[in-house]
């Protein structure tokens, strides 16, 4: 009997992916474990292996198509076997351990409710957090008319967004099938190109919108004199090169940021909005934004506090190369507790970086400039680096953010403190 292989959940929270390239074609004989298709999921490329040995009878997903978890993408069977005309279009819920049974298509009818009775979990004064109420107001939704799915009928963020989607897509009467509309290659002013929002750029767009609509962003800026740090890095650079390591200023910035996170733990946290709890992380997994040809990626250095400057430099180089050539593992893009965006590497001076949700803060690092500075009544030329800290004002107040930045600056201006802390 033909086997319908559904796109599995290959990562925590994964709901969809984009087919990049099929590695087999219809009629090919395949073995269990053989790569079938290359799929892009949350900025990482993954090869999906065949679950069994057989023949590819039917390929149901096209390259560049976005597929949902549980959607049938290929039918495998024996040579000559017939394939059903239309495999089930509505996917079952699946995960890495198998399939979950779904409810029947039509549930038994419920007894009719008396006229005027409100639906369950909806009240005139809905239970919802201030953040959810603010989101509902921004999206034009009456939070008191949203059915809450949280504990004791609490209205959650997902409930508000689902209400918006339902409002934006009203039921319409069936219309005769229309021919695909022709897409114009020009507008009123001239010719244009239309580029599908796909791949890494699509993931970035979704992540940025979620972060900006969820966390109230505030950014504070400052600068640090890194003249002594630059001299130390230049001195150690030759030793690093002998070990095949490219030593930049970034490992020192990571160490300085960790010192700030240790002293100010609320910046190394996430907010559980549903349960109204701040989760303080006891580990320090530092994400570092990397500019790639496909778009921005954020590989994560795990347990960065326990690694030396040279170890951090080596791992940063490896992760950056993997991100740029698209061989990075999905696990290397997850698990961060704090992020650093080094836009100074491409010439940026200052910025207002967007928080890498669900984290609560991100440190933007500008380029190093030689500037005249007054020291002990005399003007000197010093190397100055510009820093921008964006933070979630629901969790972190401005004073705490400034104190964190002061700790980072203190470490950058006295690199011996970084070395003493390991």
Catalytic residues: 393
- The CA distance from 113 to 228, in Å, is 75
- The CA distance from 34 to 21, in Å, is 14
Gyration radius of the chain's alpha carbons? 26
- The CA distance from 156 to 141, in Å, is 13
- Provide the greatest CA pair distance for the chain: 89
User: What residues contact residue 235 under an 8 Å CB cut-off, 6+ apart?
Assistant: none
| Helix, strand, coil share (%) of the chain residues, nearest 5 | 30, 25, 45
- The CA distance from 274 to 396, in Å, is 18
- The CA distance from 207 to 41, in Å, is 13
- The CA distance from 197 to 209, in Å, is 14
Q: Report CA-CA distances (Å) from 207 to 65, 152, 256, 334.
A: 20, 29, 27, 13
Tokens of 315: 């791992």
DSSP sequence for 107-174: PPPPPPPPTTPPPTT--SS--B-HHHHHHHHHHT--GGGSPP-SGGGPBPHHHHHHHHHHHHS-----
């Amino acid at each position: 009997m033909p086997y319908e292989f559904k796109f599995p959940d290959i990562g925590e929270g994964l709901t969809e992916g984009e087919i990049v390239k099929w590695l087999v074609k219809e009629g090919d004989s395949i073995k269990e474990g053989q790569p079938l298709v290359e799929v892009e999921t949350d900025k990482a490329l993954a090869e999906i292996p065949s679950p069994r040995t057989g023949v590819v009878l039917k390929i149901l997903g096209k390259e560049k198509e976005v597929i949902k978890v549980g959607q049938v993408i290929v039918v495998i069977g024996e040579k000559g076997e017939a394939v059903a005309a239309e495999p089930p279009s509505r996917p079952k819920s699946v995960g890495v351990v198998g399939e979950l049974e779904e409810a029947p298509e039509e549930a038994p009818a419920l007894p009719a409710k008396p006229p005027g009775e409100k639906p369950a979990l909806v009240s005139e004064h809905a239970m919802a957090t201030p953040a959810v109420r603010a989101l509902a107001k921004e999206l034009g939704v009456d939070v008191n008319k949203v059915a809450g799915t949280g504990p004791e009928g609490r209205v959650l963020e997902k409930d508000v967004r689902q209400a918006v989607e339902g409002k934006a897509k009203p039921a319409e009467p069936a219309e005769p099938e229309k021919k695909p509309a022709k897409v114009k290659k020009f507008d009123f002013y001239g010719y244009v190109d239309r580029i599908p929002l796909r791949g890494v750029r699509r993931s970035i767009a979704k992540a940025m919108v979620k972060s900006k609509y969820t966390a109230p962003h505030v950014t504070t800026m400052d600068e640090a004199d890194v003249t002594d740090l630059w001299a130390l890095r230049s001195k150690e650079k030759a030793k690093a090169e002998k070990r095949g390591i490219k030593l930049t200023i970034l490992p020192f910035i990571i160490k300085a940021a960790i010192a700030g996170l240790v002293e100010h733990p609320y910046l190394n946290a996430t907010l559980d909005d549903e349960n109204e709890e701040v989760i303080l992380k006891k580990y320090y997994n530092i994400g570092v934004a990397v500019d790639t040809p496909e778009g921005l990626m954020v590989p994560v250095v795990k347990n960065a506090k326990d690694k030396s400057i040279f170890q951090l430099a080596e791992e940063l180089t490896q992760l950056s190369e993997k991100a740029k050539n698209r061989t990075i593992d999905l696990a290397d893009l997850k698990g961060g507790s704090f992020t650093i965006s080094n836009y100074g590497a491409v010439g940026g001076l200052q910025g207002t970086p967007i928080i890498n949700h669900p984290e609560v803060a991100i440190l933007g690092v500008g380029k190093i400039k030689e500037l005249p500075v007054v020291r002990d009544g005399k003007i000197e030329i010093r190397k100055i680096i510009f820093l921008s800290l964006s933070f979630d004002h629901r969790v972190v107040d401005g004073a705490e953010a400034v104190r964190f930045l002061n700790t980072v600056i203190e470490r950058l201006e006295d690199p011996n403190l970084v070395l003493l802390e390991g």
